[in-house]
Amino acid sequence: MSIDTPQIYLITPPVIELAQFAPLLGRLLDAQDIACLRLSLATQDEDTILRCADGLREIAHARDIPLVISDHLLMVERLGLDGVHLTDPGTRIRKLRDTLGAEAIIGAYCGQSRHDGISAGEAGADYVSFGPVGQSALGDGTFAPHDLFEWWSSMIELPVVAEGCLTRDLVAALAPVTDFFAIGTEIWGSDDPVASLAALTAPLR
């Protein structure tokens, strides 16, 4: 991979059976270069989140891969995680940076809003993500267009992540103008997520 090639940022499935998922995750992390892992569960059950975070932290950290968690700010320090991904960053980033410290990863999902991305960067985010980049029957049909990433990559130094409804063609098209591809639901529903990830990201090799 060249230094300019976008990296893969892996998102967990929304529902995890840890005993089955842990070995699959290990195989996937060994098969692909993964820059970061995001724990993004649908449940609000604290015990489930704690158990999954504990298990995945060991798998990720054994491979020197940082683990961030979606939104659950209090879990970061409690579980020794590397940071947090905010799905609705609002005005919390600056205060959160003071709380978590300079080393913590703070990411901000900014939908399709250039303004929100700039605001998140100015407040201290380590990266912003835009999406969904592909169109889906879910939601209201809006998506983050290619020219948003093109503008960002030419004007802003802060790393940018493309996520949501990715396809192989979108990976190929966005590769020159994004720093990371956040991939999750695109692969977990397949019979072989390891092979699916390899196929989806083939344009990067």
> Does the N-terminal peptide bond of residue 132 adopt cis geometry, omega within 30 degrees of 0?
yes
Amino acid at 18: L
Residue range 7-204 in CATH 3.30.60.50: no
pLDDT, residue 3, reads 45
Give the integer Cα–Cα distance in Å for 98 and 120: 15
pLDDT tens digits, 101-153? 999 999 999 999 999 999 999 999 999 999 999 987 667 789 999 999 999 99
Q: Read off the pLDDT of each residue in 66-74 and give the average, rounded to a whole number.
A: 95
Average pLDDT over residues 55-74: 97
Q: Are 92 and 85 in contact (CB under 8 A)?
A: no
Give the Cα-Cα-Cα angle 117, 122, 127 (nearest 5 degrees). Answer: 50
Residues, the chain, total?
A: 205
Helix (H) or strand (E) holding 119: helix 114-123
Phi, psi angles (nearest 5°) of residue 72:
-80, 85
User: Within 10 A of 88 (CB to CB), how many other CB atoms are there?
Assistant: 11
Predicted TM-score (pTM) of this structure = 0.95
Of 2 and 44, which is predicted with more confidence? 44
- Identify any residues that bridge with 34 across adjacent strands, giving them in sequence order: 8
pLDDT at 137: 67
The pLDDT score that the predictor gives to residue 72 is: 93
Distance between CA atoms of 70 and 87, rounded to whole angstroms? 7
Which three-class secondary structure state does DSSP give residue 201? coil
* Cβ proximity of 149 and 118 under 8 Å: no
Find out whether 72 and 46 touch, Cβ atoms under 8 Å: no
Residues 127, 107 contacting (CB under 8 angstroms)? yes
Domain ranges in the chain are: 7-204
Q: How far is CA 35 from the centre of its chain?
A: 9
